[in-house]
Structure 1
């Protein structure tokens, strides 16, 4: 087929997460039509998860191009940049507070960011309840999208922004996510200042972590008086069923975890035992380091679909930087294929460097260095990669 001009092309984004929505917003600001398809039944179908820190040199850069940076700062929590480390007895052994004017990586709840992006889009941009099953069609297009409801859509460019287990990825790559051997079990705490004051005091305004070298707890302040705690262990992928439990057996899981964390103080164990509602199982997967693919003018990936890495503070920022660069490439190129090639020539080497640098880093929370401050390490790593 003839490769179309971006403004005349049928562009489809799969996934209404931060990366997909950022790409759609910037495309629309440049007069390029786009449709986003998401598997959720509607915008309120599920909780969007915890807090994100958006960095000045990638996530915020994308929001500036999207025309949303001022609105972001009005919603963000600069105080969420606070970092703490506590020991197994509940003593805070390290604390770093942001400067009053520090806006390098303020926090924002994932759901709040998603709403900001959704509200900026033209009505009808996102089609909800459209779970992609597969992509077929020739490499030079058009591609055909097959959805679980039986519907199909023909498109000139499909952008996979659909996360770890992307249904677009097989159109360009045979890579599949690999389990890291590290499991996060999420616990949620509501109305913390009144109902969980001890936890609120221990955690502070940002991220607080503790480890004994074998297992760890990471507690993250969210807006709306919520805290999320991630109980981190090296464990088999199916450790819950292998222990004779199920994810719905909150009491059984709680007893099992308290046994695993025996020796930690009662004050710290509240982070495991006093949660409001069930646990959420979040095993950590990564894509093989230096994941690349052969160029296709009709399909590409961004974010976790392209470069799934350990959660060390770069994932959403790289996804939004990808989205920014792809949208800008489409706004400047004569054809879709030219834009995709230009985008991948920058994105693939960058993601290869990041994934190689972070290969094997899934257990970063087990680091017992009490002076560790993840933001500074990430800045140092960025500087090294960008040289």
Structure 2
């Protein structure tokens, strides 16, 4: 029943500190239009003007899409769901970052999709309705070849010293919970494939903590800081081992924590600038210990744009892009060096890898593929209802 697919789509662009979510809305608007939909955009950075909301309600969208919960508070003039249809909230963060908005996520007019299977499983455990996995996607830029590919190795990401981060937990959350957080981080680092929430809950249960304080409240306070601590710890460890390589590093904090590096450093840049820099890089390095089970937008930027992706071991990439990326072990930072040096030293092998990755992205992982997936999903839910 192809005619059951939505034809009018409203996209909610949030006022997000991380502008990549706003860029994703731009990409999805074009993708829906390529699929023959009429797509309109509401930019919350300009304010939710009542006249605009009224006009959008008259537009009567079949599908309303936002990233994270940027559109969950919007209502039609009569107080009902915008356009009288469910909001599809595409969540890119781990579920525990969304826990404080659990009530909004469980609202009857909200349907959620997550970017990786592990988050989907955790969201289902939270009791969220109609949860599915929809990965992010890649956008191909004009190809850059030869001498114009002027960045040898590109890395993006800011850094904080992890130890002061952990030391602050005792003051902000309490010494007892801070000790459990430290123990949980050590246990999680031993097997990053496990959900952090499970590791922390086991530590709390063993210590008899949680029942009197409310375990869900503890999770909301603790899991985000633990995630950021482990990410910073591994990023710093890997990058310090590469201080003598010719990296171009975009992000804050590196000049202070790795002062003797041979790198070219610059502050964080907008996402579209990030994509353009990736398209000029021979190799892109990603250190994402907390994404060992899914794909971030940084992977897709590399895979879609002929930059060889060197990344810590990742089950999703191994399944979707076998032999089209260069994995390394977080336990052995020198393995990242070996991967980078091999790719820089063999242009033919590097170009064969990146050509295969670009082809795979175009076949299965563009934003238009995601638009089709979401349109079919909404049609399927509508038929079931």
Taking structure 2 as the reference length, what is the TM-score of the superposition? Answer: 0.30
Kindly indicate which of the two structures has a greater share of residues assigned to strand: 1
TM-score by length of 1: 0.30
